[in-house]
Structure 1
Amino acid sequence: MDVGMTLPVMEPDLWAAEDTLERWARAVDEGPWSSLCFGERMAFDNPETLTLLGAAAAWTSRVRLVTTVVVPQLHPPVPLAKALATGDRLSGGRLTVGLGVGGRDEDYRAADADLATKTIAGMAERVAAMRRVWAGERVADAVRPVGPPPVQPGGPELLVGTLGPRTIRAAAAWADGLAGMSLDLDPAEMAKVFALTREAWREAGRPEPRVTTSFWFALDDGDGSAREQIHRHLRHYMNWIPADFVDLVAATAGFAGTPAQLREVLDRVADLGADEVQLIPTASSVDQVHRLADLLV
């Protein structure tokens, strides 16, 4: 099983040092990690995802770049297709695009996007439009089609970001796999989602899907500080949810423990058949990347 690392794009102190993201990207690229991941929010203080994609392509040369996730309804589909094709070009074909409907109305309002498109069908329509762009079809009355053509034939790998059965089954028609997320590292729930994904792809007559999952993590040496770190992170990140509910989630969310304990968790997820796990940091120190690299060698 591959293990990827997510950039700390949702951390409140991200911009305390201007080179934080570059140092993280280079550390991940130089280590044993399979992918460098980052997600999208609009009404938040994280970096703009498509701009970051170009920078990440320049900062790295080996790891796969994974958006976890982009909400296509927040963007006009043709410019989004052009931006992602450019990212695929700049990275030499290393781009995987996670796509999701998104759970925050405020992001739609901030992007002046139509809330009526916040549906599974709305996402699928935009995927179809992007596929036409990547295939070189003329999607506008223009002398030339919208380019550049992506390096990967037909466009970058597309993963659906969801845990919902309806979305998984619907996405089997167009996605290449699953960009999953585990709130509480429940093995039974993960196994259920993985099995549902593979079943949906078989029923749709599609090739075997790529199955990935992710979870928050915080490291400590047995002193209990890791759980508090996750709590602080979720209070900041889940700012659209009532604080009392966030506090309940934070009590069991993600992984809080030592590197050795994390290795045991990764082994259990591998036994469930995941193709990749993407770790999500809950602090901005790049030391975490170096500290965990030894687990993967």
Structure 2
Amino acid sequence: MKVGLGLPISDPASLLTWARRADTGPFTTMGLLDRIVYDNPEPLITLAAIAAATTRIRVQTEVLLAPLREPVLLAKRCATLDRISGGRLTLGIGIGMRPEDYLAVGADYSTRGRRVDLVAPVLRRIWSGQPHNDRVGPIGPAPTRATGPELLFGGFAPAALRRVARWGDGYLSAAPVEHTGPLFRTVEKEWVTAGRMGSPRLVGQLNVAVGPDNVVQDAKQAIGSYYASLAGTYDIRMATTAGQIRDTLTEFADLGADEVMLYCWAHDPDQVDRLADLLT
């Protein structure tokens, strides 16, 4: 099972340091979350900078709020980042749970699920090199692979899990490990029902903080602030010891996860080395 690293958002200027350290370690992917009404860096711009500062590690949105982006421009931006990075982009998309992100850009929160169902086929059509419509020709650049960047869907609702089988390459679960098993199995069932060949890529996520007490407290404050508006509706957990992290990784492996993202919330880049040591 592969292990990736979710990047903190509190200090954008430090992220290239995180990226360079992670690129020399055991991690396979670096992920970055997406919000509009929050003090976080825009993910596609940031991941482009990270891709330029690294040579092998993948870059991933975890997850991009696709209904807030115009689909054609999103397809072009992602294909560009994919080409520049040498095919290292994984586009994780979802719909989000906070109405203020939609209010900020004048988008309808209530129709966000239907809107992402419209975005996905546009991405696939443009990436495949087909004409955009009967009046507009193909839109480049061509991504590294013919089907486009790897496309993961996040979410918990039945509609989100069906989207994986219809348009995606796999599924990204931000749920605790004990809730992720049923989600993985549902995604696999939908995949078979849709007649897809092979199997979906399954990715889990674990919030972590390793280091001195001040690092752990920094992480707890950051994650508490980020999820404050969802208090009572979202199960927020964080592993802070080597034993907790190793045990949870084993549980994800037993569920058949292909990769687990260790999402860091404290801004201390020394966590990269501590986590790398934990994995060896």
Distance 1:23 1:285, change over 3 A: same
1:127 corresponds to 2:120: yes
Identity %: 38
CA contact (8 A) 2:18 2:272 kept: yes
Aligned to 1:255: 239
1:136 corresponds to 2:125: no
Aligned to 2:207: 216
CA contact (8 A) 2:131 2:139 kept: yes
Aligned to 1:203: 193
What CA deviation, in whole Å up to 9, does each residue of 1:240-282 have, x standing for no partner?
335xx48x955xx1313x2243222212221221110001112
Amino acid at match of 2:2: D
Partner Cα distance (1:41, 1:108) in 2: 10
CA contact (8 A) 2:44 2:61 kept: no
Match of 1:287 among 270, 277, 280: 270
Amino acid at match of 1:231: K
What CA deviation, in whole Å up to 9, does each residue of 1:193-220 have, x standing for no partner?
1111111111111130000010211225
Kindly report which structure 2 residues correspond to 1:96-107, keeping only aligned pairs within 5 A, or say none. 96-107=90-101
Distance 1:138 1:186, change over 3 A: closer
State how many pairs are aligned: 278
Partner Cα distance (1:86, 1:186) in 2: 34
Partner Cα distance (1:73, 1:5) in 2: 25
Aligned to 1:233: 222
Partner Cα distance (1:110, 1:133) in 2: 27
What CA deviation, in whole Å up to 9, does each residue of 1:49-90 have, x standing for no partner?
121121121011101111111111111100000000001011
**TM-score, normalised by the number of residues in structure 2:** 0.91
Give the ranges of 4+ consecutive aligned residues of structure 1 lying more than 6 Å apart after TM superposition: none
What CA deviation, in whole Å up to 9, does each residue of 1:136-192 have, x standing for no partner?
2222645x521111012111111111122332024311111101112xx343x2221
CA contact (8 A) 1:124 1:171 kept: no
Aligned to 1:193: 183
Amino acid at match of 1:27: R
Amino acid at match of 2:94: G
Partner Cα distance (2:235, 2:29) in 1: 27
Distance 1:4 1:186, change over 3 A: closer
Give the alignment's Cα RMSD to 1 decimal. Answer: 2.2
Kindly report which structure 2 residues correspond to 1:24-103, keeping only aligned pairs within 5 A, or say none. 24-103=18-97
CA contact (8 A) 1:88 1:152 kept: no
CA contact (8 A) 1:4 1:34 kept: yes
Partner Cα distance (2:214, 2:127) in 1: 49
Q: What SS does structure 2 have at the residue aligned with 1:255?
A: coil
Match of 1:166 among 159, 162, 166: 159
